[in-house]
Amino acid sequence: MKRHRYRRRDILRLLGTGCVITICIVILHVARPELLVHFERKVYDVLLSQSRQRPPSPVPVLIAIDDKSLADLGQWPWPRHVLARLITRLHEAGADIVTLDLILSARDRTSPLLIQEELRRDTGFSIDLEGLPRTRLDHDHLLAEALAKMPTVLGYKLLFTPTGSDEPFCNVHPILSGQTISAAFSLHAAENAVCPLTILNAAATNSGFINALPDSDGVIRRTPLMALHAGELLPSLILATVMTRGETAIGLGQDADGGFVQFGRKRTHIDAQGNVLLRYRGPSGTFTTYSATDILSAPLPDLHGRVAIVGPTASGLGDNHPTPVDRVFPGIEVHATLLDNLLQKDTLIRPAWAIGAEACAIVLVGLLSSLLMMSAGPLACAAGLVLGATGVWSASLWLLNGPGYWISPLSTEIILLGNMALLSLVKYGMEERELRIRSQQLLHAQDATIMSLTALAETRDPETGGHIRRTREYILVLASVLARKTKFKKHLDRETIELLYKSAPLHDIGKVGIADSILLKPGMLTREEFTEMQRHTVLGAETLAEAERQSTDSGDRSFLGLAREIALSHHEKWDGSGYPQGLKGEDIPLGGRLMALADVYDALVTKRVYKDAMTHEEACQIILDGRGSHFDPDVVDAFEQSRHEFMKISTRYD
């Protein structure tokens, strides 16, 4: 197929439109409206689900306070002596560290000492507890002893809005004390905290906050590694666990990819708020999990070298969250994912240069797609769209799988699809304009051909030339009036009226085949001469029929078919007394009925070699007298409404 060649103005229009679209998308991308960010997150979720999932390390093991445990041990919270026994059992199983994703902020109300205090306060009675060992009197003391026997990490919850409380902040374990934090970081700043009991906090090896801070759509894609309070850096529960395991955080810094926390020689990248982008290992259940009741009662598994994370998974305890890999994902599995990412040193990164790289990709793809739209055909453009969209998506997936960079393909895909769609509309508009110009040129050529044929007829009979021009105007007037009537509206649309106007001049083309002695005779024709004269209708129809057969264009065939009908039937009469076929009523084609009146009116009001011209009024009367006999009554009615226009036309081509 021959490729369309555009003019310089059209090329500049296409290129300019592509550049404007590209600039708009770049501005939108850099401005980061919430809707764009929302869809980028959804794209990230899809990419993450398509990425290669790496197997988890054997270190994290989950101890679940699940529905089975609640059924066996009773509703939550359990007495602290049960938790103390659970930690002791984990110590016996060989766990390196026990991390509690629990907030133990209130005293255990099942402790005998606390029960005694409440009875004395509320009723004045007391219980004799003499002789009972300390560990039996106070379950919190019993739990503290269990915590102190092995490396343990307690959780607390940070509060980021003012509480109005005057209570002092927890006695927690800050990190990197004395280090100046760069202004490039804007870490989450806590106002207060829900803290573990002092006795428990003092017994534990370390502590960290458990906050996960999901995105605005409620999905946990990242989790804070550290936060600020009163100028001190506080570690998350898992960062405290990693440091308890021996991985010491040296400091905060920045490189080409953005902010990072230095662990020895390895850097873990964080965003400005201190969040880590999680590389999930799979859906819920990916990590080794034991029910708490099984740890307490069943034979112990071998947990040597492992970190046991204890926390709730039961549906009624409210610690299940949506994530990119699962709609119900327990909080302890989020912690296990972060622990595994830190241990395997493969967290995902949203680099500092990401927005700039995405903007460059938008510009590059925008220009390339604009050039493709200017130079290629529809199939090549469609192929380019598919290949481009697939390539951009695959590149983002490769970056996520390989170096772990999260580079969004969304805006690049938008510019690719937007450019293709909008530039296709622009191209369509330009080609439609070109087609309209060519069609107009074709119509002018068609009109010129018709008028050339008219001129041919005029060389035989000078009267015929003016007659042809006037009758086409009469036809136009009559058809326009009839088109307003319900009966004719569907038959006389704008296109049909235009065809009638164009084909009307050919109604007498058959006179070319009539001898001059008959055509130009000044007196009355004999019967034989009149019979010969009648043949002009058939001759014209046959000529146009042959032209119609030769034509390969459907538009031309429609035009020539209508011209043939008019040429053959314009001397038929409504009562069936006309020629050449003696058609009657609505068997006569509508074009022939219109031409019958126009032809007679023009013959009456113009001077011919064999008669003088009648006045307009006399001609009108003859037309009206022929209503229902010679002429279609509806056409006569249309003539009555437009008789003044007929009179104007009759003098136009003298």
Calpha distance 643→598 (Å, rounded): 11
Pair 235, 358 in one domain:
no
Pair 301, 365 in one domain:
no
Residue 548 located in a structural domain: yes
Pair 301, 413 in one domain:
no
pLDDT, residue 443, reads 67
Which candidate, 161, 155, 257, 245, places its Cα nearest to that of 200? Answer: 155
Structure tokens at 541: 């129809």
* Domain hosting residue 590, numbered range: 460-653
- Say how far residue 559 (Cα) sits from the centre of its chain: 45
pLDDT, residue 561, reads 87
Give the H or E element holding residue 291: strand 289-291
Calpha distance 537→489 (Å, rounded): 28
Residue 442 located in a structural domain: no
For the stretch 423-475, pLDDT in tens is 888 877 777 777 787 777 666 666 666 666 666 655 555 555 678 888 989 99
Residue 447 located in a structural domain: no
pLDDT, residue 17, reads 85
Pair 260, 393 in one domain:
no
Q: Which of the 8 DSSP states describes residue 317?
A: G
The total of other beta-carbon atoms located within 10 Å of residue 93's CB is 19
Q: Which of the 8 DSSP states describes residue 587?
A: G
Final residue before a domain boundary, out of 322, 344, 366: 344
Let me know: does 261 contact 268? Beta carbons within 8 Å. Answer: yes
DSSP string, 352-370: TTHHHHHHHHHHHHHHHHH
Pair 528, 585 in one domain:
yes
Pair 123, 257 in one domain:
yes
Residue 449 located in a structural domain: no
Structure tokens at 77: 């919270």
Structure tokens at 55: 């197997």
Final residue before a domain boundary, out of 344, 364, 379: 344
Q: Give the Cα-Cα-Cα angle 606, 511, 631 (nearest 5 degrees).
A: 55
Structure tokens at 521: 């005779």
The residues of the chain scoring below 50 in pLDDT are 1-4
Beta bridge partners of 156: 209
Beta bridge partners of 234: 227
Residue 135 located in a structural domain: yes
Q: Is the bond preceding residue 77 a cis peptide, omega within 30 degrees?
A: yes
Structure tokens at 327: 């709609």
3-state secondary structure 211-262: CCCCCCCCCCCEEECEEEECCEEEEEHHHHHHHHCCCCEEEEEEECCEEEEE
Pair 381, 483 in one domain:
no
Q: Is the bond preceding residue 505 a cis peptide, omega within 30 degrees?
A: no
Residue 356 located in a structural domain: yes
Calpha distance 64→314 (Å, rounded): 8
Residue 481, exposed/middle/buried by CB under 10 A (0-12, 13-18, 19+)?
buried
Pair 332, 393 in one domain:
no
Pair 527, 547 in one domain:
yes
**Number of domains the chain is built from:** 3
Calpha distance 636→622 (Å, rounded): 11
Final residue before a domain boundary, out of 344, 362, 381: 344
Pair 182, 200 in one domain:
yes
Which candidate, 357, 354, 179, 160, places its Cα nearest to that of 271? Answer: 354
Calpha distance 342→363 (Å, rounded): 36
Give the H or E element holding residue 207: strand 206-209
Residue 541 located in a structural domain: yes
Calpha distance 639→647 (Å, rounded): 11
Calpha distance 469→440 (Å, rounded): 21
Residue 279 located in a structural domain: yes
Pair 195, 221 in one domain:
yes
Gyration radius of the chain over CA positions: 47
CATH number of the domain bearing residue 495: 1.10.3210.10
Calpha distance 41→215 (Å, rounded): 9
Calpha distance 253→180 (Å, rounded): 10
pLDDT, residue 3, reads 47
pLDDT, residue 654, reads 63
Pair 264, 117 in one domain:
yes
Helix (H, G, I), strand (E, B) or coil at 651: coil
pLDDT, residue 214, reads 93
What single-letter amino acid sits at 41?
A: R
pLDDT, residue 380, reads 87
pLDDT, residue 465, reads 62
For the stretch 93-106, pLDDT in tens is 999 999 999 999 98
